[in-house]
Structure 1
Amino acid sequence: MSLGGAKGSASTVLLAATLIIMVVLVGLTAYSMYQVQVINRKLSDISSSVSNINSTVMSEVSSRLANESEYLGELLSQLNTSVSSQVAKIRGEVSGLEASIGFPVAIVDALNQTVYVPSMPHRVVTLDPASTEIALAVGAAGQLVGVDNDSLVYLPPPFNYTINKLYQNGSVASIGSTWSSPSVEAILALRPDLVIGTAGWGYNNYIASVLSQYGIPVLLLPSSSSLSDVYKSIIMVGEATGHVKDAVSIVENDSAIVDSLESRLHGLPEVRVAIILWVNPTYVAGGGTFQDNLITLGGGVNAFANSSGWPVVTAEELLEVNPQVIILMSNGGLFNESYLIQWLNSSIGPAYKNISAIASGRVYLVEGWYESVLSEPSVLAPYGALLIAEILHPQAFNISSLPSVISPSTLGVPGVNLEGGPA
């Protein structure tokens, strides 16, 4: 074979080999890609299987955990309820034991009669707002079963909320009004083991004499003419109901308010004031009354101090005593300054303008539960003294201008939450 032929044959062989290699490589590549796809599919299947397994396992675990958690929650709830019940029971027993330690008690009431309370009373009836307020204040709300109608209407907050809630849920019944027609039958039907009222108020003394025939202890409180009498009443109710510590705490707090007031007003001149409770006939607070004591504590002098009790006065007498300030009770909206002026003008004509309080624009109408603190000799009495002090000596309280209508919404009293009584 010639050299040229040999070279041609070699080239042909090389080309064929190259083609074969390329075919093999293409085949291998295609096969590899196929294998990769197969592997990817298997990996995808494995991943999906693992995901399903994880989902199943997690679902099972979550379900079991939820069941266990619910079970544990129920168990803890039952345990807490049981513990709370036991604690409440123990506290109740301790409270009852503490209360029973002070019984029986013998208390000398306002009529100088000894009232014997053999054991902790659980069915208490009060005959007037002052008695009801004190009973609620010392912590005897849960012992009340009956109150007079006025207690459902005239108590200041927070006591009005408490007593009306008790009345609405049926825990407390009404026994009628102590000022008009109290029902002895209604009181007896409540089977009271203690009745509390204020001596000399309405029919209270009569009710006490009737109930005593049935062996029911009736505690008559002093018809207060001063805060000292109020303090005495609070302690008496605390002793009779088993709440002596609470009663003492209230008296201490009230005394602190009065002491603070005396310090604030020290050195200020007294202001002559008349408190008018009703107009035409016109009743005023005279000497020796609860309001007379509040006037003194509030830095004033009672224009009618020489007349005892709550006398009816004429327009001429009001002109004669010439008060620098007039405090007029609205009596739930019945009266206002215009009504007073009309009565004065019809009685003495233009001469009424010579009354100092009218000439200087210092006639103040008291509304809302502020009327109660100036009328009821009870727990909130010191706030009545504070209110009078603000009216007579506004500068001592940094008050630049007093409103002509004095109510919880127009004038604040130190230590009083306007939405709910004492802070």
Structure 2
Amino acid sequence: MRTWLIAIAIIVALIAGIVLGAITIPRTIVTTSIVTETSTLTVTTTTTTTEILQKPVIVVVDARGSTLKFETIPRRVVALTPAIAEIVCMLDCSRLVGVVTPVTYPPELVKAVEEGRVEVVGSYWSPDAEKILALKPDLVIADLGVPKDIVVASMLEQHGVKVLFVKGGKAATIDDIVADVMLVASVLNETKKAQEWKQKLDSVVDMVTKKLERANVTKPPTLVVLGPPSWGLWVAGGGTFIDSLLKVAGGVNVAGKYHGWVQLSYEDALKLNPSKVIVTVMGGREEGLQCLEAWKKTPLNNTKAFRMGAVCVVTGPADDAIVRPGPRIVDAIQILAYILHPDIFNPPANYTNHIVCLKQP
């Protein structure tokens, strides 16, 4: 009996290229099989094929509506606001190489800046493009609500730096802030951590909502004032994330008919006549007390809130939690709920000393 050995080689060559959401990488695989067709003929078939392995490409659309593609996960990140820095640190603080002032949270970031492991590249209102470029970042994250960020982004992009915009200060709702966190998490490949944070946020919102429903309380007309009188009477109007936080915490924004961050006249404020006033102040407890005294010397002292002593100043970390559109909105909701309804809620841990009121709850 004669046995003929027939070798058949089939090579399938595919050209490597980029497809939507993936980079194709060729890998050759050789398989061998023996097929007996008759008692006198045995055919050995060797097949060589090229399998296409897919390396993920991250494709996102940012707050500007710009599409960005990342073939590698960014490792050198610059954050152009404190809130963005907090988002990145919650996901993986080791990615940060540059931040803007003020740098107050989290402690690990403060330490990294003090030790020179993370560089300061300017201030919130004035980031320095040259300092950013010197760090050779593979990603800069900017805030659509900060005008200077838009200018700096254009300069950076001319040098080939990828700039991702979040809504940031232009966030109108809690959902907008969640979307910002998820956007950054997608680019950094840290969606699991972002989902865990989202679950915590949902849990707090659910807890506050149910307690308010059970207590059947009246939602007090509230005015959120930004800073001391020397800044002018700036307030959080409708269409701001603070307006959204206030609603969840069980308040009614008396400035809701105004859109965005607005400066009111004292005449307008007196017409609104809030029964609660919350003032956000950068600095410590002493600065908070000074701010309260300063506001008492203005026409705002004639509102119901001042007459009843229902005026609170939030300072330091409590201020940051409320005014920064980032991960600590989880705490901000609880701080606001406590100020608005002290008979129902307690302030979250580590914030008690940073809430100063004319009449303590």
Range class of TM-score, shorter chain:
0.7 to 0.9
Tell me if the contact between 1:283 and 1:313 (Cα under 8 Å) persists in the aligned partners: yes
Cα drift, residue 341 of structure 1? 1.4
Query: C-alpha deviations, 1:7-44, integer Å up to 9, x for none?
Result: xxxxxxxxxxxxxxxxxxxxxxxxxxxxxxxxxxxxxx
TM-score (norm 2): 0.76
Q: 1:199 aligns with which of 144, 149, 155?
A: 144
- After TM superposition, where is structure 1 displaced by more than 4 Å over at least 4 residues in a row? none
Partner residue of 2:266? Answer: 315
Quickly say closer, same or farther: Cα 1:265–1:238, change in 2 above 3 A. Answer: same
User: Structure 1 residue 171: deviation in Å?
Assistant: 1.7
Aligned to 2:202: 255
Q: Give the C-alpha shift of residue 233 in structure 1.
A: 0.8
Partner of 2:134: 189
- What SS does structure 2 have at the residue aligned with 1:311? strand
For residue 411 of structure 1, report the CA deviation from its aligned partner.
6.1
C-alpha deviation, 1:314, in angstroms? 1.8
State the distance in 2 between where 1:358 and 1:411 align: 16
Structure 1 residue 343, shift from structure 2 partner? 2.2
Structure 2 residue 161 is the aligned partner of structure 1 residue 216: yes
Equivalences for 1:213-362 in 2 at 5 Å?
213-222=158-167, 223-266=170-213, 267-278=216-227, 279-280=229-230, 281-332=232-283, 333=287, 335-344=290-299, 352-353=301-302, 355-362=303-310
What are the within-5 Å matches in structure 2 for residues 20-35 of structure 1? none
Greater share of residues in helix: 1
Distance 1:187 1:226, change over 3 A: same
Q: Secondary structure at the match of 1:122?
A: coil
Correspondence 1:144 to 2:93: no
Conserved? CA contact 2:58–2:70, under 8 Å: yes
- 1:329, 1:248 → 2: CA distance? 29
State the match for 2:60 in structure 1.
107
Letter of the 1:206 counterpart:
V
Q: Distance in 1 between matches of 2:143 and 2:56?
A: 23
Percent identical pairs in the alignment equals: 29
Once the 2 structures are TM-superposed, how far is the Cα of residue 303 of structure 1 from its aligned partner? 0.9
Q: 1:259 to 1:340 in 2, by over 3 A?
A: same
The aligned amino acid for 2:131 is A
TM-score by length of 1: 0.65
Q: Computing the radius of gyration over CA atoms, which structure comes out larger, 1 or 2?
A: 1
Match for residue 352 of structure 2 among 408, 418, 423? 408
1:143-162 correspondence to structure 2 within 5 Å: 143-150=95-102, 152-153=103-104, 155=105, 159=106, 161-162=107-108
Letter in 2 for 1:145: V
1:212 to partner: Cα distance? 1.4
Aligned residue number for residue 110 of structure 2: 164
The 1:103/1:148 distance shift into structure 2, 3 A limit, reads farther
Q: Does 2:331 correspond to 1:383?
A: yes
Q: Does 1:176 pair with 2:122? A: yes
Question: How far off is 1:170 after superposition?
Answer: 2.3
Question: What amino acid is aligned across from residue 219 of structure 2 in structure 1?
Answer: E
CA apart distance, 1:382: 2.4
Q: Structure 1: how far apart are the matches of 2:352 and 2:55?
A: 39
Q: Which amino acid aligns with 2:321?
A: V
Measure, in 1, the Cα distance between the counterparts of 2:211 and 2:117.
Answer: 43
Q: CA-to-partner distance for each residue in 1:188-225, whole Å, 9 max, x for gaps?
A: 11000111121131411112212112222111001312
CA distance in 2, matches of 1:145, 1:184: 14
Alpha-carbon separation, structure 2, partners of 1:183 and 1:398: 41
Are the structure 2 counterparts of residues 245 and 393 from structure 1 closer, same or farther at C-alpha, using a change threshold of 3 Å? Answer: same
CA shift at 1:398, angstroms? 6.9
Q: 1:179 to 1:308 in 2, by over 3 A?
A: same
Following superposition of structure 1 onto structure 2, how do residues 44-83 of structure 1 map, counting pairs within 5 Å? Answer: none
Once the two structures are TM-superposed, the CA of residue 234 in structure 1 deviates from its matched residue by 0.8
**Unaligned regions of 5+ residues in structure 2, if any?**
1-53, 357-361
Q: Does 1:131 align with 2:84?
A: yes
Cα RMSD of the aligned pairs, angstroms, is 2.1
**Contact 1:328-1:366 at 8 Å conserved across structures:** yes
Shift of 1:366: 1.2
Task: From the superposition, tell whether residues 137 and 212 of structure 1 become closer, same or farther in structure 2 (CA, over 3 Å).
Answer: same
Unaligned runs of 5+ in 1: 1-100, 346-351, 400-405, 413-423
The 1-side partners of 2:165 and 2:339 are apart by: 33
CA distance in 1, matches of 2:172, 2:192: 24
The letter for the 2-side match of 1:164 is V
Going from structure 1 to structure 2, the CA distance change for 1:410 and 1:213 (only over 3 Å counts) comes to closer
Q: Tell me if structure 2 keeps the 8 A contact 1:102–1:242.
A: no
- 1:124-163 alpha-carbon deviations (Å, 9 max, x no partner): 1111111100000012x1111111122x24x3xxx1x111
